[in-house]
Amino acid sequence: MNRMITGITYTFVVVLAILWIFPIFLVLMNSTKSLVDFTNGTIWSWPKSFHFFQNVKDALVVGGILKYLKNSFSYGVIGAFASIFIAAIAAYGLVFLRLKGSFYWFLLIYSGTIFPFQMYLVPLFKGYQIFGIYDSFVGMCLFYTAICIPFCVFLLRNFMTTISREYVEAAQMDGFTTFDIFLKIIVPFIKPPVSVLFLFQFTFIWNDLVFGLILTRSESIRPIMTGLAAMQGIYFSTGVTTLMSAIVITSIPTILLFIFLQKNFIKGMQVTVKA
């Protein structure tokens, strides 16, 4: 009976994996075709010639996605790093500094994740225009940092509650300052969950489309997903293979980031679940 259940489970997982990978395979296959091959065939037909690198060149040079890639990479790194750093300090204060009403402060910060993000669109748009940061690099970095903070505080606070207070008390007796305790005692403990958060928040920022459309209008500021949306309107009928290759390029940074953080990511997921 157990073997039957195990077999059914594995079969179900394999089928889900195939269904998940199949669209990715189609995109990869069609990104290697020339426009003539794609036009004369179907999305299911095998490519007659290999034009992937030419398609990539067209996407970078003609489509101009390189500037969008640079923008999203900057937003992802700055937004994820800044939000995690601010959230780590906030979580440290909530857990170890015994702030008055710390639980209510935590609820106030975490309330930023309760409401749908779309409800922020109109106030953000008007506020950015009033303060003169609409369609600016600084404005986008500020937004991505702020919107990532609540979830980071939630996860880091929960994890820090599992750290024994004796470490902090011993460091205080040794004359460590509050910030020294944070840097030298707490930070080494939170490296695994920080890796998980950085991957999650970078991926969220990288894949954002709605706020990139609303808060930007110039090509020098727009993130990659907004650039792909613009390419879809221009190249959908005249350069589908170029669009496909652009999609492939867009997926590479997050894949590389996961591979680079894989060890800490797995460890971080384990400690996060336990917390």
Where do the domains of the chain lie? 53-274
CB atoms within 10 A of CB 67: 15
The sign of the CA dihedral 107, 182, 195, 140 is: positive
| Per-residue burial over 125-159, b = 16 or more CB atoms within 10 Å of its CB, e = otherwise | eeebeeeebbbbeebbbbbbbbbbbbbbbbbbbeb
255 pLDDT band, cuts 50/70/90, is confident
Share of the chain above pLDDT 70, in %: 92
Mean pLDDT of the chain: 85
- Can you tell me whether residue 42 is helix, strand or coil? coil
Over residues 207-237, the pLDDT tens digits come to 999 999 999 988 889 999 998 888 776 655 5
Per-residue pLDDT band for 196 (boundaries 50, 70, 90) equals confident
In this prediction, residue 172 has a pLDDT band, given cuts at 50, 70 and 90, of confident
pLDDT band at 264 (very low <50, low <70, confident <90, very high): low
pLDDT mean over 66-80? 94
Selected from 2.40.420.20, 1.10.3720.10, 3.30.450.20, 1.10.10.10, the CATH number assigned to the domain covering 53-274 reads: 1.10.3720.10
What's the pTM?
0.85
